[in-house]
Amino acid sequence: MNQTNDPLMTVVSAYASVFEDLATVATGRARRGPQGTVLAISGAPVASLNAIISPGAEPSAEEIMALAATETPWELPWSIQVRGVPSPLVAQAAAGHGLTQFTRQPLMVRHSSQGLPEEPVVDGLRVRVVPVDELDLYARTVADGFGTPHEVFQALTDPNLVKIDGLAFYLAELDGVPVGTGMTAVSGDMAGIFNITTLPDHRRRGYGRAITVEMVRAGFAAGAGTAYLYASEMGEPVYRSIGFRTEEYLTVITAPS
């Protein structure tokens, strides 16, 4: 299947490029295979953030294995990420590295032709772009939102991240107190949405939806025609209410937890 017959390859390629850019800044450990498969090592102790990502609908097991071999032995948790159901060859390659746990994540897409999502009315909530001197606050809030130790997202405190074109970090605040986060990566026609969190004591009040809407509107204002994200099971209905639709699934292959 070529890219002309595979419109989602552009979306997944943009997703892979975000990881490549972040890894290039954080650790310098990023490379790309001849067929477009990306290896990106962020340095964070999270498997999904140290990944080999294949944007093609028919991933090359040989290219995945070649990239995996360049990092052997892997000192960090890592993952192989492919579209749809992994082929037996890809599954075999992953198993050879001890990666046998499969998790599906829905790829959700929204187009600017649907119009802008309406701005939600959430009393007192302010969603703003984070300046470089507040990246530490942002990273700590992301960690709290995901319920992980702060050091997990230490890579997001690197001031060089703001040099990546199209990357923006968002905090949602009530009376100046952070209650949620988000991140956008705009490149050409694509606006990727990441790190949507709401702190545990502030959930089910519409804050996550408000953050997402703000980032979608910002991405379209910056010239993107397509917004995309990979959703959690909890988040999928929220994104659907904004106009996102599930187009396919990403399979993330990791070592058993």
Dihedral, 155, 161, 165, 170 alpha carbons, nearest 10: 80
- Structure confidence at residue 120 (pLDDT): 80
Q: What is the mean pLDDT of residues 201-222?
A: 94
pLDDT digits (tens, 9 = 90+) for 178-192: 999 999 999 999 999
pLDDT per residue as tens digits for the range 10-41: 999 999 999 999 999 999 999 999 999 999 99
Residue 120 backbone dihedrals phi, psi, to 5 degrees: -75, 150
- Mean pLDDT within 225-250: 94
> Mean pLDDT of all residues in the chain?
94
Q: Name the CA radius of gyration of the chain, rounded.
A: 18
Residue 176 has pLDDT above 80, yes or no: yes
> What's the topology of domain 112-248?
Aminopeptidase (3.40.630)
pLDDT for res 110: 97
Return the percentage of the chain with pLDDT > 70, whole number.
98
In the chain, the amino acid numbered 66 is A
pLDDT digits (tens, 9 = 90+) for 123-160: 889 999 999 999 999 999 999 999 999 999 999 999 99
Helices (H) and strands (E) in the chain, counts: 6, 11
pLDDT of 73 over the 90 cut: no
The full set of domain ranges for the chain reads: 3-105, 112-248
Within 10 angstroms of residue 218's Cβ, the number of other Cβ atoms is 20
Q: What is the pLDDT of residue 214?
A: 95
Q: Residues 6 or more apart from 194 whose CB is under 8 A from it?
A: 18, 182, 183, 184, 185, 229
Please report the pLDDT score of residue 78 as a whole number: 97
Alpha-carbon dihedral sign for residues 36, 37, 42, 46: positive
Q: Give kind and range of the element (H or E) at residue 82.
A: strand 79-83
